[in-house]
Structure 1
Amino acid sequence: MSQIHEKSPQHCAKKKLINLKNHHKKLIYTFTTFILSILLLILLVWFILHPTKPEFAIKEASIYQLTLSGSHLLNSSIQTTFLSKNPNQKVGIFFDEIQVYASYKGQRITLDSSIPPFYQENKDSNLLSVVLVANGLPVDPSFGYEMGRGQMAGRLVLNIKTNGQLRWKVGTWVSGRYMFIVNCVVVLPFGASVPAGPLTSKQGSQCSTTV
């Protein structure tokens, strides 16, 4: 006599639930593996092509005007030329925004001046020239005193500061935007007698860059 085994509806439902859970586990495992593979690839590319921050150096700076109107209104005109270098071998740099200004003893002495956006190839260098000006710019009342001290010391120490945004380019891939800040120190001769021409420094100076 043959025996007939029939599975109950409860047993079938339990089996379907187990199969569904296994299917979900496989999907989660596949998705997690895919995401981890992408992240590992990005991390690998980053370590291989880790971009080095751009380098800047002041080549020349000239002060054509730096005079007080009244007790605390400054008129200034400064021209500076600096070198921008991309030290990377396989990474290009898009400079999207560049704002430059000058400061003295922690005080702004010019307004912002813009440099047009440009792309810099790997291992490439560019000379950038900008004129920084201010008319009737309010400064601290101690500015004149600090200028007098600098004149007695025989030198004028300025900071040429730059900030903006850049993007890295590797092949056809372009990164998101990163903020960068550049600080350059310029030392100009500033004796007791004011020269007829501009105060000029051609010694050059390396700048610090933060990305």
Structure 2
Amino acid sequence: MSQVYSKSPKDCASKESFINTDNFKYKKLFCVFSTFFTSLISFILLIWLILHPSKPQFSLKEADIYLLNLSNSHLLNSSIQLTLFSKNPNQKVGIYYDQIQAYAAYKGQQITVDTSIPPFYQGHQESNLLTASLVGTGLPVAPSFAYEVGRDQTAGKLVLNVKVNGKLRWKVGAWVSGRYRFNVNCVAVMAFGPNIPPPLSARQGTLCSTSL
């Protein structure tokens, strides 16, 4: 004779009660963690909205072109020395500059390789002077490059663009933001002519545009 085993309603009720209790604990933990992270994110956003950091300010203090030599095969050798003034305008926000690179451009053409500037921290309303030596060796340029230089020499002035780009982080108290990419464009106008010996110089302290 075969025997059939079945669980009593009491056993089923006990098992269901155990499952319900276990699910309740997980749901409670999930709610606690969700509330915590939501509050934390809301607090960070609130600080961000209250402080709303302003973009860093850059100006070109000095730029000197020591070499701008074009070969017959349209390869350019260049040497440029520059000094930048950097300021953090924020009263309660510091800035970590994690990556900074600079290069020079002429008529939309890059005429030096990217040059790294050492990373640094900039405190509240702090200012720094940044220097860099920009060089290019055998850089290919457009066939019209020599014509553009000759035309500027006749006009008596040369317009140089100094480009700076990199990544920064904001610091508010102990909190540090993620990385934000920034781009800086400085325009230097230099006297240029057949009777002006090198280096060609710009020392007027040009204000640069900054985008984030």
TM-score using structure 1 length: 0.85
1:41 corresponds in structure 2 to: 43
1:205: which partner in 2?
206
Counterpart CA distance in 1 for 2:30 and 2:138 is: 65
After superposition, where does 1:143-158 map in structure 2 within 5 Å?
A: 143-158=145-160
The aligned residue for residue 112 of structure 2 is 110
Q: How much has 1:119 moved relative to structure 2?
A: 1.5
How far does residue 162 in structure 1 lie from its aligned partner after superposition?
Answer: 1.0
Alpha carbons of structure 1 residues 97 and 35: separation in structure 2 relative to 1, 3 Å = closer
Is the partner of 1:35 in helix, strand or coil?
helix
- Runs of 4+ that moved beyond 4 A: 7-25
- 1:8-157 correspondence to structure 2 within 5 Å: 9=11, 22-157=24-159
Aligned to 2:191: 189
Unaligned ranges ≥5, structure 2: 1-8
- Of residues 136-145 and 164-173 in structure 1, the stretch that sits farther from structure 2 once superposed is 164-173
> What is aligned with 2:3?
none
Secondary structure at the aligned position of 1:116 is classed as coil
Deviation at 1:170, TM superposition (A): 2.1
Residue identity matched to 1:201: A
Q: Aligned partners of 1:203, 1:137: CA distance in 2, in Å?
A: 29
SS in 2 for 1:48: helix
Check the 8 A contact 2:100/2:119 in 1, yes or no.
Answer: yes
Rounded to whole Å, the distance in 2 between the matches of 1:14 and 1:131 is 75
> Could you list the per-position Cα deviations for residues 114-154 of structure 1 after superposition, in whole angstroms to 9, with x for gaps in the alignment?
22222211101111121211222221111001112222332
User: Helix, strand or coil for the counterpart of 2:208?
Assistant: strand
What TM-score results when the alignment is normalised by the length of structure 2? Answer: 0.85
Displacement after TM superposition at 1:72 (Å): 0.5
Alignment CA distance shift 1:153-1:22 (3 Å):
same
Please tell me the residue identity of whatever aligns with 1:206. L
Supply the distance in 1 between the matched residues of 2:24 and 2:133 (Cα, whole angstroms).
69
Q: Secondary structure at the match of 2:60?
A: strand
Match of 2:181 in 1: 179
Count of paired positions: 205
* Percent of residue pairs identical: 58
Q: Which digits, 9 at most, give the CA deviation of each residue in 1:82-119, with x for residues without a partner?
A: 10001111111122222111011111111222222222
